[in-house]
Structure formats: C-alpha cells, structure tokens
Amino acid sequence: MAEGSTFKRCSWRDDNGKELGQKCPKLRRPSGGWNHRHGIWHYQIELPPTPDGKRRGPLRRGGFTSQDDAEAELAQVRALLSLAGPREPATRTQIADLIKRTLAETKTLPNLETVRRKIKTGLDLTQEITIEQWLEEFLQRKRKIEESTRRSYEGHIRLYLAPYLGQLALDRLKVSDIAVMFEQIEEFNDTIAERRASPDPSVRAGVKYRRPVSIATMHSIRATLRHALNMAIRQDRLLDFNPAAVLELPAKARPKALVWTDDRVHDWQTAFHERLRAQKQCRGGRRGDPIDAYTSTPRPSRVMVWTPAQTRLFLEEAQRHRLFALYRLIALRGLRRGEACGLRWKEVNLDAHTITINWQLVQLAG
C-alpha cells in the first residue's frame, strides 16, 4: 500500500501568473529548515484503482498550518485503506470511493470505526443505512414475539418513527433529532385538542379518527426505538451510542379517576346541550348530531367512575340485552373486557358458583 508523503507549497504567483508551488525560495530558511511563516502544508497518497481497473489520480489535500496536522490526516487515510485485507481489492476500491465522496460532500474523512463496522458486517460502504431501513430490518429479525407486540412495533414505526426520523442516517441520529420528533407530536396533540373543541362539525371531522398521543404512548414509542438501536449496537455494531436511551420524557402519570357526582353530571349535561345548540346554529337550524356532540363533549377526567346508583340503572336497562349476564359479571366482579369475552364454558362452574380467569382475547388492528 502506498505510504504517501507530506510537502509544502506556496500559493504566490510569478510575473507570468503561475503559482510558485514547491519552487518558492521562501519555503525554506537559509539554514535549510522549513520557514514556518511561509507556505501551506499538503499531503499526497496514491489510491487504489477504480472499479473498472483504471488508475485513479492521487489524493491531494492541503490547507494545513503544520506538518503534524498534514501527517495526522494522512495517517487517517492510511488507516482507512488498511481496513481492507491484501485479498480484498474490491473492499479497498470501495474505501477509496467512500473517501473521495465523503471529502467532496463534507470536506472531512469518513469515520474510521464506522467504516470498520460496515466491513465486518458486510454492508455496502458507499451506502448509508437510514433509520427507516434499519427499522424494517429490526422487524424482520423480531420473529419470536407476541403478535400484539409486533403490531405495537409496526404501529410506532409506521405512524411516528418512519415519518419523523426515517430519512436520517442511522449512524448520525442524535438525541436532539428524537426530541424534535416528540415536540412535533405534542404540537399535533394541541391541534387535535383545538379542533375537537370547535363547535363546527366540519372542523372536528378533520380529526375524527385521530387521538392525542399520550405520555404513556410516547414512552412506548421511545422504547421501540431504543430496542431497535440496541440491536444495531449488540448484533451488528453499527452504533457506539444509543441516543434514545438518554432522552428524557415527562414522567408517565395515570389519569386521576373521578366519580360521576351529581354536580359533575349536571355540568357535563349542560355542556352537551350547549354543543348540540351550537351544532344546530352551524347547520342553519337543522338538527345536530347527538352522537358527535356526545363524544366531543369533554369529561371531567379521562377515567370516570359510576356510582352504585348509576351502575344499577345501567343494569336495569341492560336486562333485555342478550349479553346482560356478561355486563352484570363485569360490573360486579371487575373483569377486563378481554377476560370476559374470552371466558369459556369449561372455566365456569355453575354448581360452585365460580369462574376461573386464565386467558383473554386480544384485539389486533380492529
């Protein structure tokens, strides 16, 4: 492998307008040593041939104020080229292509450890892996997981990680990039809240099927990204650092459950009827949509608890329904929806008046 060399050049021109270059008499002192006040240091090194076998021009770089600086970058070029073994000419050619392209785009050399990891894992040196590409690879490798977990990963990737981060290079992902994603999600949450509070049904219809992303969901999104990046670190050594692991999010707080007291019921009913009237005005006197008004009228809390009297009233109304026994069981014994729907006859003992809960149904994608 060519070792390369460093040299000094002068950018001054003679009377004919030609650069003096290395022939400038002021580059050296009378004693023969270099004149540190004149000229600029450069280095030059031969690169491997192009993929079609043609000789490639030498790599020349200048602008260094000292010979040590020029020697340091030259040593980095040598280290990059030495990553390919003697029997790997194609890899050396790829490294040379990468050096030329990276210098042209960024004016800096490729990161040595990044190139080393790509060579070890057999990745194309001239192609950057994007976040979206790696997340697709992550999903393909996660074979032994529950279907509900897979659906969760797919949803986080499709709705948030790919749209906000997908086009970024995997090895250039920063903590600030992830923080900006969550800021944009919070901004959209504000948009949803504003449109839902509008008395105009057409405005609310624009966010009809969009729910604000809760803090708990944001933590889950970050967990998915953190898991995918950890895989890139452990299995393929594509990263040295996981930015998702150090990002701070607000603490998860469960919504405080409130009881439907008489005052709260009265206030909610008043707001509900006001929304119906506003709908009627927007529709030019035509009747509003009671279901839309019902779902869009804010509750005192996301979690509202019935009083015993309200529960009794519901069960009285539900007696004629074919699933009345199921509703009564849930109301009086606190089963989850999936547990109640998954209950099988062999787990019911009518003589002993007992049931055994040992599995549940899971809803996937509707």
CATH code where residue 196 lies: 1.10.150.130
74/29: higher pLDDT: 74
* Residue 126: inside a domain: no
The residue behind tokens 């969009």 is 210
Least-confidence region, from 45-54, 150-159, 304-313: 45-54
Identify whether 32 is part of a domain: yes
In this structure, the answer to whether residues 94 and 148 fall within a common structural domain is no
Question: Looking at per-residue confidence, does 348 or 117 come out higher?
Answer: 348
What mean pLDDT is predicted for residues 176-199? 89
Residues 13 and 116 in one domain: yes
Are residue 205 and residue 220 in the same domain, yes or no? Answer: yes
Bridge-based pairing state of the strands 59-64 and 258-259: unpaired
- Which secondary structure element, helix H or strand E, spans residue 12, and what is its range? strand 5-13
Residue 224 has pLDDT above 90, yes or no: yes
| Residue 71 sits in the same domain as residue 164 | no
- For residues 40 and 69, membership in a common domain is answered with yes
Q: Where is the domain boundary, 202, 222, 246?
A: 246
Choose between 35 and 326: higher pLDDT: 326
Residue 296 shares a structural domain with residue 317: no
Number of domains in the chain: 4
Q: Which residue has the tokens 């390919």?
A: 84
**Is a pLDDT exceeding 80 seen at residue 195?**
yes
Shared domain for 144 and 160, answered yes or no, is yes
What pLDDT was estimated at residue 285? 77
Exposed / middle / buried, residue 319 (Cβ in 10 Å: 0-12, 13-18, 19+): exposed
Which of 305, 299, 306 is CA-nearest to residue 196?
299
Rounded mean pLDDT of 244-265?
Answer: 92
Together in a domain, 61 and 113: yes
- Stretch 114-132: mean pLDDT: 79
Among the residue ranges 71-80, 105-114, 158-167, 339-348, the one predicted with the least confidence is: 105-114
326 and 275 housed in the same domain: no
Residue 151 falls within a domain, yes or no?
yes
Q: What is the mean pLDDT of the chain?
A: 87
> Is 117 domain-assigned?
yes
Where is pLDDT greater, at 232 or 23?
Answer: 232
* pLDDT surpasses 90 at 330: yes
Whether 176 and 242 share a structural domain: yes
Whether 251 is covered by a domain: the verdict is no
Last residue of a domain, one of 305, 323, 339: 305
What pTM, to 2 d.p., does this model score?
0.64
Query: Residue 179 above 90 pLDDT?
Result: yes
- Mean pLDDT over residues 68-92, rounded? 89
Quick one: pLDDT at residue 48? 87
Rounded CA separation 58/86 (Å) = 20
Short-list 302, 327, 300, CA closest to 316:
327
Range of lowest pLDDT (41-50, 253-262, 281-290, 337-346): 281-290
Task: Determine the pLDDT at residue 288.
Answer: 74
* Rg over CA atoms, the chain: 34
Whether 57 is in a domain gets the answer yes
pLDDT of residue 173: 94
pLDDT of 40 reads 79
Do 32 and 84 fall into the same domain?
yes
Of 77, 100, 121, which marks where a domain is finished? 121
271 and 224 share one domain: no
In a domain, 9, yes or no: yes
Q: Is a pLDDT exceeding 80 seen at residue 291? A: yes
Q: What is the domain range of residue 71?
A: 5-121
Position 357 scores a pLDDT of: 92
Is 355 inside any structural domain? Answer: yes
To the nearest whole percent, how much of the chain has pLDDT over 90? Answer: 44
Q: In the predicted model, is pLDDT for residue 136 greater than 60?
A: yes
